[in-house]
């Protein structure tokens, strides 16, 4: 399979954009017609229908879609059926499929997660939680052409709790934990160029710039533009032209809460894609 960075470049070229649309079908925010709480089956069916409508409405200007597994998993087996359907819709759109599950585990266990994400759901990339270290990241790096976006600097208020801690490395240099994490992930992916990417929040563009400088070729997945407060301009400046996907979820999905949500989503995606044009 073609290495992920080249596939990312192709998807960006086809859509004229580095936009990733996050598919977080939140029953508290979806248009009422989709958010039936009558049963798990109805909830899951509604979530899938809503996401498929969003994919159809926004695929022209999106390079990638990112279903967050939590919103499907909450419906149990029906939710995983719904996730299958959404993944199929994303693949049919020709855009990249980023599976946001923040999984992470070691050895055979991590490999079973990777089987789920890459072999079953056919994700082009996934998000990976790094706390357990290199052997918990490695199972996600064994799939040629795919990419593991390892959590490095996240855009939530508590992101700095651990990530900003400064620690001395084996070389005696002091670095933030997020930088140790990025270095560890790159070592875990040694010899598999393009399989290691980073989740780096838009709300801390100065850290984004540091990551980009340290790893000019690593794909970045950047949440936190829009609802969480980061700006497209800041992100693009910090990124300096490297491989990147900028994610927006709520700002597109819930641009309008009722009828006309597809048109509102298309317009919101288009505006953000325009602001992200290189």
Binding site residues, a copy of itself, CB under 8 A: 24, 26, 28, 40, 68, 70-71, 73-74, 76-81, 84, 102-110, 112-113, 115-116, 120-121, 129-137, 151, 154, 156-163, 165-169, 177, 180-181, 184, 188
| Catalytic residue chosen out of the listed positions 7, 61, 102, 146 | 102
Q: How far is the CB of 223 from a copy of itself (least distance, A)?
A: 10
66 catalytic? Reply is no
What CA–CA distance (Å, rounded) separates 51 from 97? 13
Give whichever of 184 and 192 is closer to a copy of itself, judged by the CB atom. Answer: 184
What CA–CA distance (Å, rounded) separates 244 from 242? 6
Measured in Å, how far apart are the chain's first and last C-alpha atoms? 27
Give whichever of 32 and 167 is closer to a copy of itself, judged by the CB atom. Answer: 167
What CA–CA distance (Å, rounded) separates 50 from 69? 15
Q: How far is the CB of 203 from a copy of itself (least distance, A)?
A: 13
Could you tell me if 134 and 107 are in contact, meaning their C-beta atoms sit under 8 angstroms apart? no
Give whichever of 10 and 42 is closer to a copy of itself, judged by the CB atom. Answer: 42
Q: How far is the CB of 141 from a copy of itself (least distance, A)?
A: 13
What CA–CA distance (Å, rounded) separates 67 from 79? 12
Locate 102 and state its tokens: 């923040």
Q: How far is the CB of 146 from a copy of itself (least distance, A)?
A: 16
Give whichever of 131 and 206 is closer to a copy of itself, judged by the CB atom. Answer: 131
Q: Residue 140 contacts by C-beta under 8 Å, 6 or more apart in sequence?
A: 103, 104, 110, 113, 114, 117, 126, 128, 148
Q: Which residues are catalytic?
A: 102
């Amino acid at each position: 399979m073609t290495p992920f960075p080249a596939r990312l470049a192709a998807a960006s070229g086809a859509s004229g954009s580095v936009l990733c649309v996050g598919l977080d079908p939140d029953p508290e925010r979806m248009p009422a017609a989709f958010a039936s709480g009558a049963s798990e089956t109805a909830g899951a069916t509604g979530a899938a229908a809503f996401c498929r409508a969003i994919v159809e409405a926004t695929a022209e200007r999106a390079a990638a879609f990112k279903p967050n597994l939590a919103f499907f998993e909450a419906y149990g087996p029906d939710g995983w059926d719904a996730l299958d359907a959404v993944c199929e819709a994303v693949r049919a759109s020709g855009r990249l499929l980023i599976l946001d599950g923040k999984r992470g585990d070691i050895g055979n266990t991590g490999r079973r997660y990777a089987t789920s994400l890459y072999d079953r759901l056919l994700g082009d990339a996934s998000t990976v939680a790094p706390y357990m270290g290199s052997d918990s990241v490695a199972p996600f790096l064994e799939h040629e052409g795919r990419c593991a976006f390892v959590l490095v600097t996240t855009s939530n208020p508590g992101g700095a709790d651990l990530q900003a801690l400064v620690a001395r490395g084996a070389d005696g240099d002091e670095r933030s934990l997020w930088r140790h994490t990025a270095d560890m992930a790159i070592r875990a992916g040694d010899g598999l160029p393009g399989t290691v990417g980073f989740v780096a929040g838009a709300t801390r563009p100065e850290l984004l710039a540091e990551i980009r400088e340290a790893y000019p070729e690593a794909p970045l997945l950047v949440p936190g533009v829009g609802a969480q407060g980061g700006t497209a301009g800041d992100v693009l400046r910090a990124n300096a032209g490297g491989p990147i996907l900028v994610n927006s979820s709520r700002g597109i999905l819930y641009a309008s809460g009722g009828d006309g949500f597809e048109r509102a989503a298309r317009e919101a995606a288009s505006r953000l894609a325009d602001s992200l044009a290189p």
